[in-house]
Structure formats: structure tokens, C-alpha cells
Amino acid sequence: MERRSKLCQDDGMRKAPTRVDRRTDALSKPRIVTRAIAILDDGGIEALTFRSLAASLSTGQGALFYHVTNKAELLALAATDVLSDAMNGTDGTAGTTGRVSTTMIAVFDAMTAHPWLGAQLSSAPWQPAVLHLFDRIGNELDALGVPDGHLFDAASVLVHHVLGIASQFRATGELTSVNSDRPAFIHSATDGAVHPFLDKIGPQLVHHDDRDQFTAGVDIIIAGITARARLAHTPSPPNTHADK
Amino acid sequence: MERRSKLCQDDGMRKAPTRVDRRTDALSKPRIVTRAIAILDDGGIEALTFRSLAASLSTGQGALFYHVTNKAELLALAATDVLSDAMNGTDGTAGTTGRVSTTMIAVFDAMTAHPWLGAQLSSAPWQPAVLHLFDRIGNELDALGVPDGHLFDAASVLVHHVLGIASQFRATGELTSVNSDRPAFIHSATDGAVHPFLDKIGPQLVHHDDRDQFTAGVDIIIAGITARARLAHTPSPPNTHADK
DNA sequence: ACCTGAACACCGTTCAAGT
DNA sequence: ACCTGAACACCGTTCAAGT
């Protein structure tokens, strides 16, 4: 969780026994996390193993446990890193109104760039990364003018929406195989049961863009939030422009 | 996937070699699934093991693989069973308008009754159980009068909302420990970073009811759906009554 | 203090062998 | 056809032992 970058914490100051840098690349939390992310990025979530990570850092597995409590913490740290980067990229992009959806889309894009991220976020919704996102969205809704009594529920729906699509990113292989032939897949998956709605929107299921669908969902939710907020509060002016 | 209940498929009819019921309880898919659900219900998701399941049915683990392809299928079958029951309980409960939220709440309640269900649903969003729910919600929105062009997006947001809170049901132990002392937990989880919104809504985080929060989210989404649908289509009458 | 690597306990899944 | 249970491959995690 701590981000201090003390790669070499007593460098040369003290006597220098033989050669202080008998290894320039001493093990450290940040180093481990960085390497873990690299493995996750190009091997998926099942590629990250304490054995593979240790090999990649040329150490023993035990050494890793000296710096990291367990795999859950390791994954949580990786998620925090990646998500923070994604969210920092959106600072001051749009006016207040658009800022919420900008944040949401940034998270979505981070999940497509790092397919393991979705699985990790949805598998541990109370991890720091998610709380961080929750806080960010809450603040943005606050700035947008959503009344206090509605902030909590409003922020929750938005976070749930990300977690919902996050779960769709589990098992990349599975998802792509689904995408290749959705109608056939759905037919086999539902095993011949009657599904009038699925049949009806079959074509959309095949041709739709996941990102568009995500943003459409965000729009719907924001519409609902403002509709209910206005209803409960003063009929204040729409507040549709940027304010900063 | 198939629900036929052929517990004994050739019972006694044929010759009766020594004693037809040398075992009344022959292994079968439904029997296995039922027992799996029982184990899941009172031991959580990590209690279900092919070893534990085999022991509980007094067979070898190999026998289970004769009826079930793998653990993923077993869990998917269990989820379908439980979710179908939950959704069948809501038939003809309310008018068209309230039917969507009735379905949503039924799913939520099923997840609190079977804490493993949330984990399973969110860990494999393309499984039959989820598709079944998706279809159900789509049909209900259709009956509600949501225009065709919006049906897909509308149903998606709702399903994502369930999947989002579903992910919150992972690791029951974790969730309860969180509930016991949320402020302290959040402080430690965020590790001292600045989280103005979390601080602001701290009290609500502690005292809120998860079910209320869920339904509040459903209301927000439905408000957004009707708002956008009305906007895109004719300004038709609110259509707020039951129609069947 | 930091690292090593064998060992432990536990999985899902397979498979030769039985009836 | 259905079942048995040992075996396999692979985990996360621990720990005595080294420097």
C-alpha cells in the first residue's frame, strides 16, 4: 500500500563491507509489484505464480513472502498501481459534468488494457483500489451538485456498474471465445430453454461494442441520479456546463 | 443444464439381478448438484471440494467426473438451480412497473441466503444462470414499454448492478469482518491516503443497510432508463400502472 | 536483515483397474 | 455403464538453514 521508493535504503554510507551493490537490484515491494504487473499483463491472471514471479526476479519463492504478505496483497497492490495511473490520467480533462464519465471510462479502458484487472477488482471489492475509485467518484458527484443525501447511493451504483463489467473481464480466453460466435454460444449455454428477449436482441449481442455499451450504461445511471436528485431537492438549474 | 429428474432410470423392470436397489441412491447429475448446494450453503464456497463432495455422497472423486465435466460446470449448475428457484418465486407478484425491481430484489435475497451465489455469478457472467436473468429482466423491461432501441442497454445496466453487488458477496468472512468495524477497516485499507468523500460519508457506510442500498440503486437505474427512454421516444403517458 | 529451496498441505483432474 | 482410489501436476505458504 505504501508507495515510498526506497530502493536502496542504506546505500554505501556504512562501511561498505565488500561492495555495497553486490546486487544493484535488491528485492523490494515496488520492484516485486512492477514485475508482477508485467507478468499479469502478458500472461493473464493465471500466469502469475509465486514460482513464476520468483523465477522472473531470479530469487526463491520464500524471498517474496519476506516483502509481501500473501497473493491477495500482491494482487491488490498491482491493482492499485494500475488503477491509480489510469485515474491520474484524467485530471482536469472536462468540465464538472463530464468528469464522472471520464473517470468511469478511464477505468474501463484500464481494464481492457490489463484484462486481469477486472477479475481482481471484482474478486475483492473492498480493496484499496476500489475504495479509491469510490472516493473519486463520490467527490466528482459532490462537485456536480448531487445533494448529500443521495451521494452514497449514487456513487455506489456507479461503482457497482464498473464492478459488474469488471466481472466480464474474467478469463480472457473465455470472453474472446464468446465474442467469436455469440449466437451459437448463447444457444448452447442456455441449452434450448426459451429466451424470448435473448432471441430478440440477438443481432445487437453480436455486433455491439462493449465500450459503447458501458458508456451507455453510465449515461443511464447519471440520468437517473440527476432525475432523482432534482426530484428530491430544489429544481435548480441543470448545471450542464463546465465550471472550472 | 438439463433438469430431468430421472433418479432411477430403469427401476426393477429388467430381471432384477440380485437386488435392484443394492443402492437406492445411484449417482446422478441432479443428486450431485443438490448435495453440492447443501455443502456450499453451510460451508461457503471453499468448502466445496471434489473430495468433500465425494465423501458426502460416499463415492470416489472419480465417479463425480463421470457425471459432471468439471468444477465450473458443477458450480454453474448449482447457480442455475438456486437462481431459478428464486426467480420463480416472483411470478405475478406486482404490476408491470414493479416487476423489474421485484426480480432484482429476489436475486439479491437469493444471494444473501446463499452467500456463495454472488461469487459464482460474478466469476462467470456468461453462465446460463446469468443469461436467464438477463432474459427475464429484458422481457420485463419490454413489457414496461421501454423502446426496442434501449432495451439492450437498459437490461445490461441492471444485470451489471446485480453482478456488481454480487462481487461483494465473495469471501463471507471478509465481508463480515468489514461490517464489524468499517471505519477502522477503511482507514487501514486506504493506508492514510486522503479520501474526503469516504470521510464524509463514513457514518452512512457504517449504518447503512446493504439491501436498502441495493434497491436504491435499482430505483436510480430505473429512473434513468425511463428518463432516457421518454426522451428518445414519444412523450407517452407515464405508464405507471400495472397492465396485466 | 535478507534470502534460499526443500517440504507441507491442498487442490482439480486423470486413469488404470475393478464390477 | 458405472464406479474406485491412487497418482499427477500444480498451487500458496511455511520454515529450517544459510549469508
pLDDT of res. A93: 61
**Predicted confidence band of residue A17 (pLDDT cuts 50, 70, 90):** very low
Q: Are the C-beta atoms of residues B236 and B145 closer than 8 Å to each other?
A: yes
Contact between the CB of A9 and strand C at under 7 Å: yes
The answer, yes or no, to whether residue B18 has pLDDT greater than 80, is: no
Contact between the CB of A60 and strand C at under 7 Å: yes
Contacts of A101 (CB under 8 A, 6+ apart): A215, A218, A219, A222
**Geometric angle at alpha carbon B232, from B231 and B237, rounded to 5°:** 55
Q: Are the C-beta atoms of residues A64 and A50 closer than 8 Å to each other?
A: yes
DSSP-assigned letters across all residues of A6-57 = -SSSS-S-S---S-TTS-SS---HHHHHHHHHHHHHTT-GGG--HHHHHHHT
What's the pLDDT tens digit per position in A29-70? 999 999 999 999 999 999 999 999 999 999 999 999 999 999
- Whether residue A167 and residue B228 make contact (CB cut-off 8 A), yes or no, is no
Rounded to two decimals, the pTM is 0.85
Dihedral over Cα of B39, B43, B45, B51: its sign: negative
Pick from A130, A146, A144, A163: which is nearest to A100 by CA? A144
Name the residue type at position B214. F
Q: Phi-psi region for residue B237, left (φ > 0), alpha (ψ -120 to 50) or beta?
A: beta
- Whether residue A151 and residue B178 make contact (CB cut-off 8 A), yes or no, is no
- Whether residue A217 and residue B157 make contact (CB cut-off 8 A), yes or no, is yes
Q: How many CB pairs under 8 A join A and B?
A: 197
The answer, yes or no, to whether residue A135 has pLDDT greater than 50, is: yes
Residues of chain B found within 8 Å of residue A228, distances taken between Cβ atoms: 219-220, 223
What's the pLDDT tens digit per position in B200-225? 998 888 788 999 999 999 999 999 99
- All cell numbers assigned to A158: 456507479
B161: contact with A, CB 8 A cutoff? yes
Q: Are the C-beta atoms of residues B218 and B103 closer than 8 Å to each other?
A: no
**Predicted confidence band of residue A15 (pLDDT cuts 50, 70, 90):** very low
Contact between the CB of A55 and strand C at under 7 Å: no
